[in-house]
């Protein structure tokens, strides 16, 4: 087989398909559903009053200033009232924030109450385990969406998200995800050049997120129920965060998918807990993953090495890299970046999509595939098995508790141990995961 010729055919077909999709999407001047300029400012609702949620609101307000489109934060929601109160206080006196008592919601059903209001678009920033549920509800409510990454932590959730994403496309709702490199000018222009063949045919890739610990599990207060404790210490529980490879490393894996023009077909991996010992770290996530991802580029296999770890006093590195027959690129070095920060630019792009000032954007399927790329690597490591995309995506892997209630008793979290109680196929692994993972 002529590998270079096959790769060129693959790239040509990929670019042709991308061009058709781009032409269909670039309907500038068409106002999207749910927005009427004459009705006043864009009304924004925040679901998830943590640090990333409040940060996203500030980014949206900055984007409003840059685009000249008036925007107001008019509603907030969180499972916990103290979070709602602290967020409301933090935004006191801030231009573009109008929060009345009856538009501040608390409780596990708070998101439903917010979605029943007349907000134009919502910011979804709760722990990722809730993302499929909240995204689906937002789409059904006809809202435009800024959706933080990742968008799920298991196969069942990702399928649910993908179904809702397809529905959002049918309804022409604008969806922008928190994978902000997609809105960074240096990445955008460099990836275009990679697709155009500037570094030749891609032979291999690397993606690293290696740094120190992010969030240590919060000690449990006596009055907290099982669910409240896990939600407040969400990063430390796999069903909520997806583990560090899903919650953080998705950024780098998203760039690799972008550069290679698709998602991997299989993963072989390892990992564990070297620093997060049982004694000093609560929860059930790992602190290191190493994954060999396999991509199919026009009939040939390309391997990508992925490393994600949270270790103290160790060498670090956060980057992406692709190697071609003509050179190497870190995916943002072949062009100059924009002056606007990507975390503001993504909201500018969403506002332009909603108002019709820019092309229509819907990143739902894209971010779902990148989220599942990370889940695939995690599960290959957790189980010790080589897994394919298709078998895992169509499996019954479901980490969500059967009852979401502050009164319910949740099973004690168990740290995954590769090779124990694991059947060959994901659909046969469910019982084993409860026991050993």
* Burial (0-12, 13-18, 19+ Cβ within 10 Å), 199: buried
36 and 152: one domain? yes
pLDDT of 220 reads 87
Please give the Cα distance from 22 to 425 (Å, whole number): 37
Please give the Cα distance from 2 to 116 (Å, whole number): 57
Contact 161, 369 (CB under 8 A): no
For 85-95, what is the mean pLDDT?
A: 97
- Examine the pLDDT at 216 and tell me if it is beyond 70: no
Residue 47 DSSP SS3: strand
Within a domain: 189: no
pLDDT in tens, 282-335: 789 999 999 999 999 999 999 999 999 999 899 999 999 999 999 999 999 999
23 and 38: one domain? yes
252 and 353: one domain? no
Contact 111, 25 (CB under 8 A): no
Provide the residue range defining the domain that includes 145: 18-182+342-363
Please give the Cα distance from 128 to 152 (Å, whole number): 5
Contact 105, 76 (CB under 8 A): yes
Residue 326: how many other CB atoms lie within 10 Å: 11
pLDDT of 394 reads 97
Within a domain: 252: yes
As a whole-number percent, the residues of the chain with pLDDT over 70 amount to 88
Range name among 27-31, 197-201, 299-303 with the lowest pLDDT average? 27-31
Contact 306, 381 (CB under 8 A): no
Higher-pLDDT residue of 76, 22: 76
- Examine the pLDDT at 14 and tell me if it is beyond 60: no
User: The domain that contains 82 carries what CATH number?
Assistant: 3.40.50.720
Sequence-ordered list of residues with C-beta below 8 angstroms from that of 69, at least 6 positions apart, any chain: 41, 42, 351, 355, 357
Please give the Cα distance from 113 to 132 (Å, whole number): 17
Within a domain: 146: yes
> Strand ranges (DSSP E) for 166-282?
175-177, 202-211, 266-272
Within a domain: 5: no
170 and 36: one domain? yes
Give Cα 431 distance to the centre of its chain: 27
Within a domain: 41: yes
pLDDT in tens, 61-86: 999 999 999 999 999 999 999 999 99
Give Cα 184 distance to the centre of its chain: 16
357 and 378: one domain? no
Sequence-ordered list of residues with C-beta below 8 angstroms from that of 266, at least 6 positions apart, any chain: 293, 294, 386, 387, 388, 389
pLDDT of 281 reads 66
310 and 223: one domain? yes
Please give the Cα distance from 133 to 148 (Å, whole number): 13
For 203-232, what is the mean pLDDT?
A: 90
pLDDT of 423 reads 39
Contact 50, 247 (CB under 8 A): no
For 99-105, what is the mean pLDDT?
A: 98
User: The domain that contains 235 carries what CATH number?
Assistant: 3.30.360.10
358 and 263: one domain? no
pLDDT in tens, 359-412: 999 999 999 999 999 999 999 999 999 999 999 999 999 999 999 999 999 988
* Burial (0-12, 13-18, 19+ Cβ within 10 Å), 85: middle
pLDDT of 39 reads 74
DSSP one-letter code for 411 = P
CA dihedral 79, 80, 83, 85 (to 10 degrees): 110
287 and 422: one domain? yes
Confidence band of 339 (pLDDT split at 50, 70, 90): confident
Strand bridging mode 144-147 / 387-388: unpaired
pLDDT in tens, 134-163: 999 999 999 999 999 999 999 999 999 999
Within a domain: 115: yes
315 and 169: one domain? no
Q: What is each CA distance from 335 to 184, 190, 207, in whole angstroms?
A: 11, 6, 20
Within a domain: 8: no
Q: In what order do the strands lie in the sheet with 266-272?
A: 328-329, 317-324, 202-211, 300-310, 288-297, 266-272, 387-388
pLDDT in tens, 230-241: 999 999 999 999
Confidence band of 347 (pLDDT split at 50, 70, 90): very high
300 and 167: one domain? no
Contact 338, 348 (CB under 8 A): no
Confidence band of 27 (pLDDT split at 50, 70, 90): low
319 and 350: one domain? no
pLDDT of 77 reads 98
Within a domain: 93: yes
Number of domains in the chain: 2
397 and 289: one domain? yes
pLDDT of 4 reads 36
Q: Give the chain's mean pLDDT.
A: 89
Per the DSSP assignment, residues forming a β-bridge with 202 are: 324
């Amino acid at each position: 087989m002529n590998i270079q010729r096959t790769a060129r055919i693959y790239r040509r077909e990929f670019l042709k398909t991308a061009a058709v999709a781009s032409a269909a999407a670039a309907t500038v001047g068409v106002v999207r559903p749910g927005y009427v300029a004459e009705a006043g400012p864009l009304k924004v609702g925040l679901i998830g009053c943590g640090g990333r949620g409040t940060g996203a609101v500030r980014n949206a307000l900055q984007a409003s200033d840059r685009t000249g489109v008036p925007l107001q934060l008019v509603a907030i929601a969180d499972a916990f009232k103290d979070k709602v109160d602290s967020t409301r206080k933090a935004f006191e006196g801030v231009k573009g924030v109008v929060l009345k008592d009856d538009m501040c919601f608390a409780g596990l059903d708070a998101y439903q109450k917010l979605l029943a209001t007349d907000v134009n678009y919502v910011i979804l920033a709760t722990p990722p385990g809730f993302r499929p549920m909240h995204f689906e509800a937002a789409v059904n409510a006809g809202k435009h969406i800024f959706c933080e990454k990742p968008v799920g932590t298991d196969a069942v959730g990702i399928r649910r998200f993908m179904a809702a994403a397809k529905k959002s496309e049918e309804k022409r709702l604008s969806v922008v995800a928190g994978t902000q490199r997609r809105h960074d000018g240096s990445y955008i222009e460099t990836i275009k050049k990679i697709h155009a063949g500037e570094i030749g045919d891609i032979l291999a890739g690397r993606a690293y997120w290696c740094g120190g610990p992010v969030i240590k599990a919060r000690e449990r207060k006596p009055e907290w129920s099982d669910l409240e404790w896990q939600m407040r210490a969400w990063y430390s529980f796999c069903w909520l965060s997806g583990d560090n490879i899903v919650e953080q490393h998705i950024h780098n894996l998203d760039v690799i998918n972008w550069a290679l023009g698709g998602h991997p077909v299989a993963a072989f991996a390892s990992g564990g807990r070297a620093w997060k010992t049982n004694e000093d770290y609560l929860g059930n996530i790992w602190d290191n993953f190493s994954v060999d991802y396999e991509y199919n580029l026009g009939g040939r296999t390309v391997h990508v090495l992925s490393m994600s770890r949270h270790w103290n006093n160790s060498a670090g590195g956060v980057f992406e890299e692709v190697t071609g027959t003509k050179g190497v690129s870190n995916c943002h070095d072949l062009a100059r970046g924009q002056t606007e920060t990507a975390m503001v630019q993504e909201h500018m792009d969403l506002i332009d999509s909603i108002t019709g000032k820019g092309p229509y954007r819907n990143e739902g399927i894209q971010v779902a595939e990148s989220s599942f790329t990370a889940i695939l690597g995690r599960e290959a490591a957790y189980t010790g098995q080589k897994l394919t995309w298709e078998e895992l995506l169509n499996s019954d892997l479901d980490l969500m508790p059967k009852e979401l209630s502050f009164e319910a008793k949740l099973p004690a979290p168990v740290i995954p141990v590769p090779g124990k109680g694991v059947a060959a196929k994901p659909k046969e692994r469910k019982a084993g995961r409860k026991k050993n993972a």
